[in-house]
């Protein structure tokens, strides 16, 4: 596979890598929240057009799902249990891997669930 050359100017989006942490609630349970780990530059491109977006059934109504291909500089801290915050969007990684097997760039395929505004 030919390596795709990535120009630094393509990394024009700021994304924050977040990790979920559990905090004891004092009653034997815990609360979960997402905390920021670091902010990095990324190249983000949609994988499909919005008209082709998948839908996930939650309750009774379908919720549109958008998919993105995200590229960042290699960071061993980025694993599938993390997520990316991009502006007001939350991107959940489905796959996280070094691009072309080389630890220079990291390639992620992420989903964004589009929530209806109340």
- Is the per-residue pLDDT at 53 higher than 80? no
- Is the per-residue pLDDT at 77 higher than 80? yes
Confidence of residue 2 (pLDDT cuts 50, 70, 90): very low
Asked if 6 and 105 count as a contact pair (C-beta separation under 8 A), the reply is yes
Higher pLDDT, 98 or 6: 98
- Is the per-residue pLDDT at 96 higher than 70? yes
pTM to 2 decimal places: 0.76
Q: Phi and psi for 37 in degrees, rounded to 5?
A: -100, -50
Q: pLDDT digits over 19-44, tens only? A: 999 999 889 899 999 999 999 999 99
Question: What is the set of domains in the chain, with CATH numbers?
Answer: 10-113 (2.40.10.270)
Largest CA distance in the chain: 55
């Amino acid at each position: 596979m030919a390596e795709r050359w990535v120009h630094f100017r393509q990394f024009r989006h700021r994304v924050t890598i977040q990790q979920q942490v559990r905090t004891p609630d004092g009653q034997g349970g815990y609360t979960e929240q997402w905390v920021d780990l670091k902010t990095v530059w990324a190249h983000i491109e949609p994988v499909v057009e919005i008209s082709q977006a998948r839908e996930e059934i939650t309750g009774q109504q379908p919720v549109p799902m958008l998919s993105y291909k995200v590229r960042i500089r290699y960071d061993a801290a980025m694993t599938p249990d993390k997520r990316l915050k991009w502006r007001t969007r939350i991107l959940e990684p489905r796959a996280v891997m070094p691009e072309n097997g080389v630890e220079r760039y990291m390639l992620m395929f992420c989903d964004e669930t589009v929530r209806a505004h109340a």
